[in-house]
Amino acid sequence: MPITPSITRRGALGAFAAAPLLAAPAVRAQAPVQLTFNYPVAVGGPITTVIDGYCADFERAHPGIRVRPVYTGTYQDSITKALTAARGGDAPQVACLLSTDMFTLIDEGVILPWDGLPGVEPSWTDGFYPAFMENSRTGGRTWGIPFQRSTIVLYYNKDAFKEAGLDPETPPRSWAEQAAFAEKLTRRQGDAVSQWGIQIPSSGFPYWLFQALTTQNDVRLMNEAGDRTAFDDPKVAEALQYWLDLSRTHKVHPAGVVEWGTTPRDFFERKVAMIWTTTGNLTNVKDNARFPFGVAKLPAGRRRGSPTGGGNLYVFKSASPAQQEAAVKFARFLTEPERAAQWGIDTGYVATGPAAWDTAKMKAYVAGFPAAAIARDQLPDSVAELSTHENQRVTKALNDALQAVLTGRSQPAPALAAAQADAERILRGYRG
């Protein structure tokens, strides 16, 4: 612990005069605990400035701890760097990585469960939304702390709705309405399209957007243990057929692969009237859309629904006991209701617990910007994001199938059957 001001004042003269040789060892004993915090930058906006500010604020509140944020690029880059560092004996003590990396990190033996660490009580870990904890717990243990979490929502251009004769305050509520609205919103001159009705991105992590469709078609892609998938379920093929039909049959969606990174810009530039993307883009859309826009829950197929997404906080085995204690303090600091509320306001990510939404600042924000509450209100219909053992290999099998279908190289049922066969080969060995 650092020397407190009261001790310093009390010993300023007498202690140094009586025992000057003891001063240097005492000072050396107060070396601060050092934490390395790996953080992914995956969505546009000045998030690094916010994180830098949080680290500085934490150090002021905890003078005996120093936090060094390291920005590690995309989520994919971040998990690769964290595992490489851990294998080389240089792992961070804390990292924000995808919630879906949980099984990979456990299998690699590089993280600790938060349960049992000093300062962790159920009153804290039980205070997050249950939908976020589905990707944070397994085997009765809490492995991740929800921090940078999201769902997928629908953004739509209210001016485009008016111009198409649609009510700008009534977004599509069903798959059928979504296709019908998109037909009215698509603008063509001959074969040229100046405005698409809808875009659902299919690059980067297409499985995530697709999982919204499968959830809406009332089917889960994996089990809780992360050792089985259901890619070949007929309802999964139906969901993929709907996505394909938006471009092939209804002709309201660009054909082929739609880029994740450029979809918000296409929306800002009025190249598309409705988009599906993360609520983590909410502040980005709010700051850059030069037209009135709406935010809505995703439309229903057999039901409403979205997968959750985003990042959790993990503590690595590389942490010493002092660093583990410091990591808990840092995680609790980041997830305090007032700070979680401000984080949601600043970034668009979903404040991860009800207490944050009960703060005065969040209530005032939602009163002035009701769209901020849509992702929270969608949580009761949300499911855990696709996460399995060897998650990158399993999701690649599904992503490859999706892209084969969307680019016209395969049909939904056979492509998904092949993905299921690949997943089965990968996961078979993880079953007890």
Q: Out of 380, 395, 416, pick the residue that ends a domain.
A: 380
Looking at the fold, whether 35 and 161 belong to one and the same domain comes out as no
Looking at the fold, whether 313 and 370 belong to one and the same domain comes out as yes
Looking at the fold, whether 129 and 13 belong to one and the same domain comes out as yes
**Mean pLDDT value of segment 304-324:** 97
Q: Model pTM?
A: 0.88
Q: In terms of pLDDT, which residue wins out, 29 or 35? A: 35
**Mean pLDDT value of segment 141-150:** 96
Give me the percent of the chain exceeding a pLDDT of 70.
Answer: 92
Looking at the fold, whether 127 and 155 belong to one and the same domain comes out as no
The span from the CA of 226 to the CA of 138, in Å, is: 9
Per-residue pLDDT band for 5 (boundaries 50, 70, 90) equals very low
Contact predicate 315/112, CB 8 Å: yes
- DSSP three-state, residue 335: coil
Domain that holds residue 71: 5-150+309-380
The domain that holds 235 is classified in CATH as 3.40.190.10
Summarised one tens digit per residue, pLDDT across range 110-128 is 999 999 899 999 999 999 9
Looking at the fold, whether 353 and 424 belong to one and the same domain comes out as no
Q: Out of 365, 380, 395, pick the residue that ends a domain.
A: 380
Looking at the fold, whether 219 and 281 belong to one and the same domain comes out as yes
pLDDT at residue 286 in the model: 93
Looking at the fold, whether 241 and 317 belong to one and the same domain comes out as no
CB crowding 225-259: b at 16 or more within 10 Å, else e: ebbbbbbbbebbbbbbbbbbebbeebbbbbeeebe
Residue type, 88: G
Looking at the fold, whether 124 and 195 belong to one and the same domain comes out as no
* 131: pLDDT strictly greater than 50: yes
pLDDT at residue 293 in the model: 98
Looking at the fold, whether 112 and 237 belong to one and the same domain comes out as no
Give the largest Cα separation in the chain, rounded. Answer: 93
Contact predicate 390/319, CB 8 Å: no
Alpha helices in 306-431 (DSSP H): 321-334, 337-347, 354-357, 360-368, 374-378, 391-406, 412-427
Lowest mean pLDDT among 14-28, 92-106, 331-345, 404-418: 14-28
Looking at the fold, whether 156 and 138 belong to one and the same domain comes out as no
CA nearest 352: which of 334, 325, 365, 370? 334
For 191, other C-beta atoms within 10 Å of its C-beta total 5
Looking at the fold, whether 302 and 347 belong to one and the same domain comes out as no
Looking at the fold, whether 142 and 165 belong to one and the same domain comes out as no
DSSP labels, 309-327:
EEEEEEEETT--HHHHHHH
Domain count, the chain: 2
Beta bridge partners, 300, equal 174
